[in-house]
Amino acid sequence: MGLALLTPAWLAGQEFDSELQLSSDVVYWYRICTAAPGLDGFAMTDVNTGSASDDYQNMAFVLPTETDDIRSQWKLTAGEDGKIIITNRATGNQIANSSYWYVDHSITALTASGASGFTATSLGDYAFKLESVEDDGVNRCLALADKDAGTVFYPESGESESAIAWKFFPVEIETGIGSMGTGRQVISVKNGRISVAGSTEWQLFNASGEEMPRTVSLPTGIYLVKTGQKAIKILVP
């Protein structure tokens, strides 16, 4: 599977959705998974091997990967004009604002630095579309594309479960300062469970404000982890 940038039928003007968190003092590492039906666990992945001669060094694929595979973990940072820059944890590469065909797949290009970033718009059900202007001046959506599957069209309905929809699942959050004033805390999400390394004194709440046990597998939803004076909102997929 590959990635392409698909021209939208209309351009949305919604603001950046508050459920997506930009990294600064707190670093959020996301898995960015396609929301297309039947492809659960297929995440945007940097397949760079580090070789300058490798044909794959500047490409991102959508692959079935494990939660702890750092090639499929990305952080979001602020770019210019409200755009977000998407950077890979394993390589430091950024998702570039260009795409091209490679063999049978349409591929999203990667760059070591200088990506102009994307505008993110909520589609509901924790899904987002990512738009940017490519080097040909056309505004397009990042979309899952397979050359053998035929032409990908911008959906007239059901956007949140289409080729343009992406779900951002936080797998690790680095909070920087621990509850005792020193050290680093790391909040992880795996198999429905939330854990906090670097602190024994933390609380877990559901979206209704009810305190939850810390040792159980949680149903899908938004949760709040409270450590000291910090409160971090987390999505459990």
At 106-128, the pLDDT tens digits run: 678 888 888 999 999 999 888 99
Specify which residues 221 forms β-bridges with: 236
Domains of the chain with bracketed CATH: 2-169 (2.80.10.50), 175-236 (no CATH)
- Length of the chain in terms of residues written: 237
Specify which residues 127 forms β-bridges with: 124, 167
- Which pLDDT does position 221 carry in this prediction? 84
The answer to whether the beta carbons of residues 174 and 64 sit under 8 Å apart is: no
Of the listed ranges 61-65, 110-114, 157-161, 199-203, the least confidently predicted one is 199-203
Look up the pTM and report it.
Answer: 0.79
Is pLDDT of 95 > 70?
yes
The answer to whether the beta carbons of residues 200 and 73 sit under 8 Å apart is: no
* Each residue's pLDDT tens digit, 139-186: 888 888 766 666 777 888 889 999 899 999 888 888 765 444 456 788
Mean pLDDT of 221-234: 82
Q: Give the number of C-alpha atoms closer than 13 A to the C-alpha of residue 80, restricted to the C-beta side.
A: 3
Q: Which residue has the tokens 């959508």?
A: 62
- Which pLDDT does position 50 carry in this prediction? 60
Instruction: Give 116 or 101, the one with higher predicted confidence.
Output: 116
149 φ/ψ angles, rounded to the nearest 5 degrees? -90, 0
Mean pLDDT of 90-119: 82
